[in-house]
Amino acid sequence: MKLSHIEHIGIAVKNLKEAISYYEKILGLTCYAIEEVKDQKVKTAFFKVGQTKLELLESTSPDGPVAKFIEKRGEGIHHLAFAVEGIEDSLQEAEQKGIRLIDHKPRKGAEGLDIGFIHPKSTFGVLTEFCEDNN
Ligand code: CMX
Protein backbone atom coordinates (compact mmCIF):
# COMPACT_ATOMS: atom_id res chain seq x y z
CA MET A 1 0.00 0.00 0.00
CA LYS A 2 1.34 3.44 -0.86
CA LEU A 3 -0.06 6.55 0.86
CA SER A 4 1.44 9.80 -0.44
CA HIS A 5 -0.10 12.48 1.80
CA ILE A 6 -3.15 13.53 3.77
CA GLU A 7 -5.54 14.53 1.00
CA HIS A 8 -8.08 16.15 3.30
CA ILE A 9 -9.57 16.28 6.76
CA GLY A 10 -13.36 16.08 6.87
CA ILE A 11 -15.09 18.26 9.47
CA ALA A 12 -18.77 17.85 10.29
CA VAL A 13 -20.63 21.14 10.83
CA LYS A 14 -24.25 22.05 11.43
CA ASN A 15 -24.19 25.17 9.29
CA LEU A 16 -21.83 25.39 6.32
CA LYS A 17 -22.23 29.14 5.88
CA GLU A 18 -21.33 29.93 9.49
CA ALA A 19 -18.37 27.54 9.43
CA ILE A 20 -17.05 28.98 6.14
CA SER A 21 -17.16 32.41 7.69
CA TYR A 22 -14.93 31.23 10.58
CA TYR A 23 -12.34 29.65 8.26
CA GLU A 24 -12.29 32.73 5.99
CA LYS A 25 -12.62 35.63 8.42
CA ILE A 26 -10.66 34.27 11.37
CA LEU A 27 -8.17 31.84 9.82
CA GLY A 28 -7.78 33.81 6.56
CA LEU A 29 -8.32 30.78 4.29
CA THR A 30 -10.34 30.88 1.06
CA CYS A 31 -13.21 28.58 0.27
CA TYR A 32 -12.45 27.58 -3.33
CA ALA A 33 -15.35 25.18 -3.96
CA ILE A 34 -18.78 24.28 -2.66
CA GLU A 35 -20.20 21.02 -3.94
CA GLU A 36 -23.13 18.80 -3.08
CA VAL A 37 -22.42 15.06 -3.04
CA LYS A 38 -25.95 13.66 -3.37
CA ASP A 39 -24.86 10.06 -2.88
CA GLN A 40 -23.43 10.96 0.55
CA LYS A 41 -26.21 13.39 1.54
CA VAL A 42 -23.76 16.21 2.16
CA LYS A 43 -22.88 19.67 0.98
CA THR A 44 -19.12 20.25 1.12
CA ALA A 45 -16.90 23.33 1.22
CA PHE A 46 -13.18 23.08 0.45
CA PHE A 47 -10.13 25.01 1.64
CA LYS A 48 -6.43 24.41 0.95
CA VAL A 49 -3.71 24.57 3.58
CA GLY A 50 -0.46 23.67 1.82
CA GLN A 51 -1.14 20.41 -0.01
CA THR A 52 -3.79 19.35 2.50
CA LYS A 53 -7.42 20.29 2.12
CA LEU A 54 -10.10 20.86 4.72
CA GLU A 55 -13.54 19.58 3.72
CA LEU A 56 -16.43 21.04 5.71
CA LEU A 57 -19.47 18.77 5.64
CA GLU A 58 -23.06 19.83 6.22
CA SER A 59 -25.72 17.15 6.02
CA THR A 60 -28.50 17.62 3.48
CA SER A 61 -30.73 15.03 5.17
CA PRO A 62 -31.49 14.06 8.78
CA ASP A 63 -30.73 10.40 7.98
CA GLY A 64 -27.35 11.06 6.31
CA PRO A 65 -24.05 9.88 7.86
CA VAL A 66 -22.99 13.40 8.84
CA ALA A 67 -26.32 14.22 10.51
CA LYS A 68 -26.10 10.96 12.46
CA PHE A 69 -22.50 11.72 13.45
CA ILE A 70 -23.40 15.20 14.75
CA GLU A 71 -26.41 13.87 16.63
CA LYS A 72 -24.29 11.25 18.38
CA ARG A 73 -20.93 12.99 18.80
CA GLY A 74 -21.43 16.69 18.03
CA GLU A 75 -19.62 18.81 15.46
CA GLY A 76 -15.95 18.13 14.83
CA ILE A 77 -13.41 16.05 12.93
CA HIS A 78 -15.34 13.42 11.00
CA HIS A 79 -12.76 11.62 8.86
CA LEU A 80 -9.19 11.51 7.68
CA ALA A 81 -8.54 11.01 3.97
CA PHE A 82 -5.26 9.68 2.56
CA ALA A 83 -4.19 9.96 -1.07
CA VAL A 84 -3.25 6.46 -2.23
CA GLU A 85 -1.77 5.02 -5.37
CA GLY A 86 -4.02 2.22 -6.62
CA ILE A 87 -7.17 2.64 -4.54
CA GLU A 88 -8.82 -0.62 -5.56
CA ASP A 89 -5.78 -2.70 -4.63
CA SER A 90 -5.30 -0.72 -1.40
CA LEU A 91 -8.88 -1.43 -0.28
CA GLN A 92 -8.47 -5.10 -1.17
CA GLU A 93 -5.16 -5.31 0.66
CA ALA A 94 -6.67 -3.78 3.81
CA GLU A 95 -9.58 -6.22 3.67
CA GLN A 96 -7.26 -9.19 3.20
CA LYS A 97 -5.42 -8.06 6.33
CA GLY A 98 -8.65 -8.24 8.33
CA ILE A 99 -9.72 -4.60 8.19
CA ARG A 100 -13.47 -3.90 7.94
CA LEU A 101 -14.31 -1.89 4.83
CA ILE A 102 -17.35 0.31 4.26
CA ASP A 103 -16.69 0.48 0.50
CA HIS A 104 -15.45 -2.68 -1.16
CA LYS A 105 -15.01 -0.89 -4.47
CA PRO A 106 -14.10 2.76 -5.05
CA ARG A 107 -16.90 5.18 -5.88
CA LYS A 108 -17.03 8.82 -6.96
CA GLY A 109 -16.69 11.46 -4.25
CA ALA A 110 -16.34 15.24 -4.17
CA GLU A 111 -14.03 16.80 -6.79
CA GLY A 112 -14.45 13.71 -8.98
CA LEU A 113 -12.00 11.67 -6.90
CA ASP A 114 -12.31 7.91 -6.54
CA ILE A 115 -12.93 7.27 -2.86
CA GLY A 116 -13.41 4.38 -0.45
CA PHE A 117 -14.12 4.39 3.30
CA ILE A 118 -12.75 2.09 6.01
CA HIS A 119 -14.84 1.47 9.12
CA PRO A 120 -13.78 3.41 12.25
CA LYS A 121 -14.21 0.27 14.38
CA SER A 122 -11.22 -1.20 12.50
CA THR A 123 -9.03 1.91 12.63
CA PHE A 124 -8.84 2.88 16.29
CA GLY A 125 -11.85 5.16 16.05
CA VAL A 126 -10.89 7.21 12.98
CA LEU A 127 -13.21 7.01 9.97
CA THR A 128 -10.59 6.64 7.23
CA GLU A 129 -10.94 7.41 3.54
CA PHE A 130 -8.68 6.47 0.64
CA CYS A 131 -8.74 8.83 -2.35
CA GLU A 132 -7.22 8.72 -5.80
CA ASP A 133 -7.40 11.28 -8.56
CA ASN A 134 -7.93 9.25 -11.72
CA ASN A 135 -9.28 12.15 -13.80
N1 CMX B 1 -15.73 8.63 13.17
C2 CMX B 1 -15.56 7.76 14.20
N3 CMX B 1 -16.53 6.92 14.65
C4 CMX B 1 -17.73 7.01 14.03
C5 CMX B 1 -17.97 7.88 12.96
C6 CMX B 1 -16.92 8.72 12.54
N7 CMX B 1 -17.08 9.56 11.54
N8 CMX B 1 -19.24 7.73 12.54
C9 CMX B 1 -19.80 6.79 13.34
N10 CMX B 1 -18.88 6.36 14.23
C11 CMX B 1 -19.07 5.36 15.26
C12 CMX B 1 -20.28 5.68 16.13
O13 CMX B 1 -19.94 6.54 17.20
C14 CMX B 1 -20.68 4.31 16.62
O15 CMX B 1 -19.86 3.89 17.67
P16 CMX B 1 -20.48 3.19 18.97
O17 CMX B 1 -21.15 1.95 18.45
O18 CMX B 1 -19.28 2.92 19.83
O19 CMX B 1 -21.44 4.19 19.54
C20 CMX B 1 -20.38 3.40 15.42
O21 CMX B 1 -19.39 4.11 14.65
C22 CMX B 1 -21.59 3.13 14.57
O23 CMX B 1 -22.16 4.37 14.27
P24 CMX B 1 -23.69 4.65 13.89
O25 CMX B 1 -24.05 6.02 14.34
O26 CMX B 1 -24.55 3.49 14.30
O27 CMX B 1 -23.63 4.78 12.34
P28 CMX B 1 -23.61 3.68 11.24
O29 CMX B 1 -23.01 2.40 11.70
O30 CMX B 1 -24.94 3.66 10.62
O31 CMX B 1 -22.59 4.40 10.25
C32 CMX B 1 -20.44 4.65 9.32
C33 CMX B 1 -21.27 4.69 10.60
C34 CMX B 1 -19.04 5.15 9.64
C35 CMX B 1 -20.41 3.21 8.77
C36 CMX B 1 -21.16 5.60 8.27
O37 CMX B 1 -21.20 6.90 8.77
C38 CMX B 1 -20.48 5.59 6.91
O39 CMX B 1 -20.71 4.72 6.08
N40 CMX B 1 -19.58 6.59 6.64
C41 CMX B 1 -18.89 6.68 5.38
C42 CMX B 1 -19.57 7.65 4.46
C43 CMX B 1 -19.56 9.05 5.01
O44 CMX B 1 -19.23 9.31 6.16
N45 CMX B 1 -19.92 10.04 4.13
C46 CMX B 1 -19.92 11.44 4.49
C47 CMX B 1 -18.69 12.13 3.97
C48 CMX B 1 -18.72 12.15 2.46
C49 CMX B 1 -17.60 12.91 1.79
O50 CMX B 1 -16.55 13.19 2.38
O51 CMX B 1 -17.82 13.24 0.60
Model confidence pLDDT, tens digit, residues 18-73: 999 999 999 999 999 999 999 899 999 999 999 899 999 999 999 999 999 999 99
Mean pLDDT (the chain) is 97
Please check the confidence at residue 135 and state whether its pLDDT lies above 90. no
This prediction has a pTM of 0.96
Question: Taking residues 106-113, what's their average pLDDT?
Answer: 92
Nearest atom (ligand 1) to Cα of 8: 50
| Percent of the chain residues past pLDDT 70, beyond the cut | 100
Phi, psi of 5 (to 5 degrees): -170, 175
CA distance 87 to 5: 14
Ligand 1 cavity residues, CB under 6 Å: 10, 37, 40, 42, 44, 55, 57, 65-66, 68-69, 72-73, 78-79, 102, 109-110, 117, 119-120, 125, 127
Of all protein residues, the one whose alpha carbon is nearest to atom 31 of ligand 1 is 65
